[in-house]
Amino acid sequence: MEEYIGLDVSMKETAVSIHRDGKRVWRGKCASAPKVIAKVIRKRAPIAKRVVFDFVATAVPELGQVAHQQERA
């Protein structure tokens, strides 16, 4: 059984989509606080193989700067 998690991060909340063996088994939202996201992941997908995320650069300014620098390289 393989679990994958998709996160769509914004300033206030994060959309979470959990897939198990190629099928979505849960979708929901939570606050965009690291501890809250971690709690959701531990509860809903404790054996996740991979987490992928999309974010708005204003949600996590440091990551936005890194992404922009990598595009220019």
Domain that holds residue 48: 3-72
Q: Which of 11-15, 54-58, 63-67 has the lowest mean pLDDT?
A: 63-67
Per-chain mean pLDDT for the chain: 80
SS3 state of residue 46: coil
Residue 54's pLDDT is 78
For residue 11, give every residue at least 6 positions away whose Cβ sits within 8 Å of its Cβ, in sequence order, or none.
32, 56, 58, 59
State the first-to-last Cα distance of the chain, in angstroms, to the nearest integer: 38
Q: Which residues contact 65 (CB under 8 A, 6 or more apart)?
A: 57
CATH code at 66? Answer: 3.30.420.40
Return the pLDDT at 73.
47
What per-residue confidence (pLDDT) applies to 56? 59
57 has a pLDDT exceeding 80: no
10-45, pLDDT tens digit by residue? 889 999 999 999 899 999 999 999 999 999 999 999
Give SS3 for 9: strand
* Number of separate domains in the chain: 1
